Amino acid sequence: MTLSTFGAIIGFAAEIIDETKRICDGLVEKAKNPLLKEALQNLIKEEEKNYALMEKTRRENVTEMILEPITGFEREDYAIRLDGLNQENDEGLMDILLLLIDREKRFFQDASKKVSLPEVAGIFKKLGRKKEEALQKCKGMEV
């Protein structure tokens, strides 16, 4: 399905943020490595803030939601499948964590190029950078 409006993009952003939080909520108790557990807990806290930021952005920019159509932006490009990924050991949990963070990084980087509102594009760029930093930090973690 195409993300063809500002409202659809913000709504989808909130949706994937919430999905990441819910998945991490379910994984945090399975993590044995304290660094991995901490990374999952930190991501959960970060996602709570990011979800609130998306809701605030939606409220503050509601008049721009209907102005400009957006093309070439598909929800399916950010779909993830956890089927077949091991959720029983720390290596598998790290794979899932990296997958979730990478999806959000790609989405926010792409969304920053699609949204014409400078304030919103800036928010998306900042979130994309934060996800890139988190991705690099997790990749350097020993589990």
> Residue 63 belongs to what domain range?
6-139
| Number of domains present in the structure of the chain | 1
The Cα-based distances of 46 to 19, 86, 99, 111, 121 in angstroms read: 13, 24, 16, 19, 19
Q: Which residues of the chain have pLDDT under 50?
A: none
CATH number at residue 41: 1.20.1260.10
pLDDT of residue 59: 87
The Cα-based distances of 64 to 60, 94, 129 in angstroms read: 9, 38, 25
> Contact at 8 Å (CB) between 4 and 71?
yes
Residue 61 lies in a domain: yes
Predicted structure pTM score: 0.92
Residue 1 lies in a domain: no
Token pair 């409220």 is at which residue? Answer: 59
Residue 106 lies in a domain: yes
Q: What distance in Å separates the CA atoms of residue 78 and residue 15, rounded to the nearest whole number?
A: 11
> Contact at 8 Å (CB) between 86 and 76?
no
64-93, pLDDT tens digit by residue? 555 677 889 999 999 999 988 898 899 999
